[in-house]
Structure 1
């Protein structure tokens, strides 16, 4: 297929933007890229999709996602973190079945694909959700998934007994760590190498130091990357201080830091932590919607970027964001730090797009194949239809994407050279069956958890 007449934001090394550009896709890869006129002459026999008035961007990389939680969208709005976690989310997740986990994964993936995410990092998929079902959902949908299976052995948050996990979520070394190793053997590289299996470690305080060290040792021996929440809430800082550490000195003490580790949230950091992140090449994920909605604080993204830390972007889960739309996440990432710093030049649109594309690909170890639109890379890209009143006029295509567009403007999505969405509709999944099953399964989970009356409208319903 030859895609023509579009404005192409390549995010290549030179950050080229091609007007009236064209992309030739052959098999799973980009075979050529250039001006429309030149490629039409080179490939006169190719089938053409004309895309005048559209912008093409690399497929978005959602570097932090809880696929199970999309089934719980709207069940814990406007709560502070302890209540949100201990009274709602953990009890609900502790009542999941593997069929619920599969339905939730399908719902998450459908929403991500429709809104331009072609690759995601699942952070902590619990054993009770059915890891095989998550992998099947990735395989069937055509998306690219790095899938973190939970690693834990302590049933509290930050070692605080008042933050006790629901019993249905507590796992031991054998189920979590060794189970993740088993799933890596079974699924890593499957679905035409679209599936990668990771360790999804719980926050410090939810994992013993011995298990962390065992996990990091296996990670290096078997090349299994690690993702972990860290320094998200004030309680995390309290925990690190109780151990005689800062956030990063603690992580360093259990061998967590390095280019194969992706740390999430990273709100409560000292200057020394930022220096350590830069020196070790550890990646971090910024989740502005989650951090603002749960009032966790504001990640020091400008300071991290200035220090040379690799910063990526993630939506987090639907109960603390309410959407899996990375385009909306980009907009908030681009405006939040301007207000926090009283500096409108802070974190410009171009930097935001990098966090959601090439930086995400680097963090996931996939930058050789995805994250930018270049000859020889995988054909993972997104077509945005800019022919709409809410998108016109535009002058800088990057600004238009970051500040104006949302997932509803996505027209075509390619992963591995296949159109997984066309005309704004999925081609690999039955959307209606997905949302209908999610609708009734979510109610069943709420009922099992005994929270039916707690999650409804707060105003009187007639």
Structure 2
């Protein structure tokens, strides 16, 4: 198939933008890319999909998600700081999930992110309770790429404070979490035509013993299982590290975490020595600006990380602390929040943000040789954004138009592995109405089972 007459933002090493461009897809790969007239003459017998008035970008890569929490999207835990948000609401609700609820939430998340231009995501900490098989099945059925972190933990508190405890039905031990993750890796890694990768999804320090961290970090290189972990998200995390006579990265180093196959998330409370260690160890960082802002957790030092040549991606985190899984919206905040904080409008420009959401994300996932940019012999993962709309016109830079004005609602086509999974803004691989209706019913039952009906409701009177 020849996709023609589009503006193509390649994010290739030369950062080329091709006007009136075309992409030739054969099987799962990009076979050629260039000007439409050149490719049309070169491949006169190819079927053609004309995409005039669209900008094509590489498929977006969401490097931090909690897909189960999309079932708890709105009003379940608004206007709370992180620890109260977790211990009083989110963990209580998630502790009342069933495997069927986990599968429903996964499908809901995947539908949303695919329709808004994400073609690959990193799930951070999927609990055994939610049904990891169901998560993998949802990825397989949908056509998306998923790097799926199975939770690793053996301590039930947050930062070792007994007042901040997980719901008892979420607690896992070494056998269920670490060894369970290895079993899921043996069963599912490279499944679905290599679209599934299984990761370790370690809990935040304080939720994992040093011994279990060290066991995980010894298994990781041996089997090739990458690690993702929340770190230095809130002031309480920094206090925990201090209680261990450590800074964030010195503690992580003591248990073997920093390395090129580790992805740390949030990182809102770092000092210069932490940034130096991240750079030296080539460890990746994920910026989640909306979640960190809504929970008043802090702001990641992204300009300093980038200056130190730390690879930084972008994540939406979870629906209850973001309310959307739309990475295009997250990209705008990832840009403008640092301008406001620094007083410098030149920090983190639009081009850098698009790199963070594409090729940087691919680097973080170890998939940079196959996704993250539009190049010959890479996977045919791309997104067509329709620009023939009043709120998107006029524009002079396609990158600025994508980062500053487009949202997921402007996505018209998504291709993953050479297959069209979104056409005319609609998902082609799953029954979308059945997905949201099922999620709506299941969410209400979760709230009821958790006994939170009086807390999860509108604050204003409803008649």
Residue matched to 1:205: 206
Residue matched to 2:365: 364
Distance 1:221 1:43 in 2: 45
Distance 2:285 2:157 in 1: 24
SS at match of 1:235: helix
Residue matched to 1:378: 379
Distance 1:350 1:325 in 2: 18
Residue matched to 1:126: 127
Residue matched to 2:301: 300
Shift of 1:369: 0.3
Residue matched to 2:347: 346
Distance 1:99 1:368 in 2: 35
Residue matched to 1:49: 49
1:259-290 deviation line (CA, Å, top 9, x unaligned): 00000000000100000000000000000000
Distance 2:291 2:274 in 1: 22
Residue matched to 2:61: 61
Shift of 1:82: 2.2
Residue matched to 1:193: 194
SS at match of 1:390: helix
Residue matched to 1:6: 6
How high is the TM-score relative to the length of structure 1? 1.00
Structure 1 position 28 matched with structure 2 position 52: no
Distance 1:81 1:422 in 2: 38
1:176-255 aligned at under 5 Å gives the runs: 176-255=177-256
Distance 2:315 2:84 in 1: 23
Shift of 1:220: 1.2
Shift of 1:83: 1.8
Distance 1:41 1:185 in 2: 47
SS at match of 2:34: strand
Residue matched to 2:311: 310
Distance 2:460 2:83 in 1: 23
SS at match of 1:212: helix
1:47-82 deviation line (CA, Å, top 9, x unaligned): 111111110000000000000000000111111222
SS at match of 1:92: helix
Distance 1:173 1:411 in 2: 44
1:218-272 deviation line (CA, Å, top 9, x unaligned): 0011110000000001000000000000000000000001000000000000100
Distance 2:306 2:378 in 1: 26
SS at match of 2:420: strand
Structure 1 position 327 matched with structure 2 position 339: no
Distance 1:76 1:456 in 2: 10
SS at match of 2:31: strand
SS at match of 1:315: coil
Shift of 1:452: 1.1
Distance 1:223 1:60 in 2: 24
Distance 1:146 1:78 in 2: 30
Shift of 1:110: 0.2
1:83-94 aligned at under 5 Å gives the runs: 83-94=84-95
1:274-331 deviation line (CA, Å, top 9, x unaligned): 0000000000000000000000001000000001101000000000000000000000
Distance 2:431 2:354 in 1: 30
Distance 2:389 2:436 in 1: 27
Residue matched to 1:16: 16
Distance 1:387 1:394 in 2: 11
1:411-450 aligned at under 5 Å gives the runs: 411-450=412-451
How high is the TM-score relative to the length of structure 2? 0.99
Residue matched to 2:163: 162
SS at match of 2:325: coil
Residue matched to 1:71: 71
Shift of 1:44: 0.9
- Which sits farther off after the overlay, 81-90 or 395-404? 81-90
Q: How big is the alpha-carbon RMSD for the aligned residues of Structure 1 and Structure 2?
A: 0.4
Residue matched to 1:408: 409
